[in-house]
């Protein structure tokens, strides 16, 4: 069973394996906040805990979670408590990523479902979630969780970003 858990030093080996797989794939790690790990891991986790209360410069407070199947960290979720101007266009409230070897197994859909529960518990009535227009799988995950597409955002380089509102009531 997949669970959304707070990162912990007890899972350092699993987390480093998660990061290594992403790095070896050549893909950017998503959500990007999990790629900025530094050792010792406890320092990174302390920083994450602080950022839940105090927003880093040009950012918002946020919470990071791992998607854990009882043995392996299969993905990660970053929940942004508020939105700034940039996140209104690209990023939204929730970013998530599944390690390459664990995709197409329903983990993203379940992870987002659990992240929406966290947003509901924090009192939000809806969340904004975005994905690149060419990321068809992510669009399906958002729609499977009740996402309703709203106006897209086009970046300066012409890349289209799909934006979804997800009602939480």
Least confident stretch, 7-21, 44-58, 79-93, 150-164: 44-58
Query: What average pLDDT does the chain have?
Result: 93
Handedness of CA 35, 41, 43, 46 (dihedral sign): positive
Domain-located, residue 99: yes
pLDDT at 55: 87
Give CA–CA dist 103/57, Å, rounded: 33
pLDDT band at 29 (very low <50, low <70, confident <90, very high): confident
Domain-located, residue 134: no
Beta strands in the chain (DSSP E): 3-5, 62-68, 73-80, 94-98, 126-132, 148-154, 160-167
8 Å CB contact between 117 and 127: no
Domain-located, residue 119: yes
- Residue 93: give its domain's CATH number: 3.40.630.30
Domain-located, residue 39: yes
Contacts 24+ apart (CB under 8 A), 29-34: 29/97, 30/76, 30/95, 30/96, 30/97, 31/64, 31/76, 31/77, 31/78, 31/95, 31/96, 31/97, 32/95, 33/62, 33/64, 33/78, 33/95, 34/64, 34/76, 34/78, 34/97
pLDDT band at 34 (very low <50, low <70, confident <90, very high): confident
In order of 35, 55, 96, 144, 168, the CA distances from 19 in angstroms are 7, 24, 14, 27, 31
Q: Vertex 1, ends 38 and 23: CA angle to 5°?
A: 30
Segment 78-112, tens digit of pLDDT:
999 999 999 999 999 999 999 999 999 999 999 99
Give the pLDDT mean for 12-34.
Answer: 89
Domain-located, residue 129: no
pLDDT at 79: 96
Q: H/E element holding 136?
A: helix 136-144
pLDDT at 32: 81
Number of domains forming the structure of the chain: 1
Domain-located, residue 75: yes
pLDDT band at 13 (very low <50, low <70, confident <90, very high): very high
For residue 68, give the nearest of 27, 13, 28, 25 by alpha carbon: 13
Q: Which two tokens stand for residue 83?
A: 């939105």
Domain-located, residue 85: yes
Above 80 in pLDDT, residue 37?
Answer: no
Domain-located, residue 92: yes
Domain that holds residue 97: 3-124
Give CA–CA dist 84/157, Å, rounded: 21
């Amino acid at each position: 069973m997949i669970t959304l858990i707070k990162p912990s030093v007890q899972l350092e080996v699993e987390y480093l394996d998660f990061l290594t797989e992403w790095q070896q794939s050549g893909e950017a790690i998503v959500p990007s906040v999990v790629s900025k790990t530094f050792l010792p891991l406890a320092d990174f986790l302390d920083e994450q805990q602080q950022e839940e209360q105090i927003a880093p410069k040009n950012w918002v407070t946020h919470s990071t979670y791992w998607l854990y199947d009882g043995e392996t960290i299969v993905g990660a979720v970053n929940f942004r408590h508020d939105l700034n101007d940039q996140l209104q266009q690209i990023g939204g409230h929730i970013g998530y990523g599944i390690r390459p070897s664990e995709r197409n197994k329903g983990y993203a859909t379940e992870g987002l479902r659990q992240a929406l529960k966290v947003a509901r518990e924090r009192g939000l009535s809806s969340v904004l979630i975005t994905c690149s227009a060419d990321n068809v799988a992510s669009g399906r995950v958002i729609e499977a969780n009740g996402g309703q597409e709203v106006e897209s955002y086009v970046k300066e380089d012409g890349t289209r970003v799909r934006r979804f509102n997800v009602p939480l009531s």
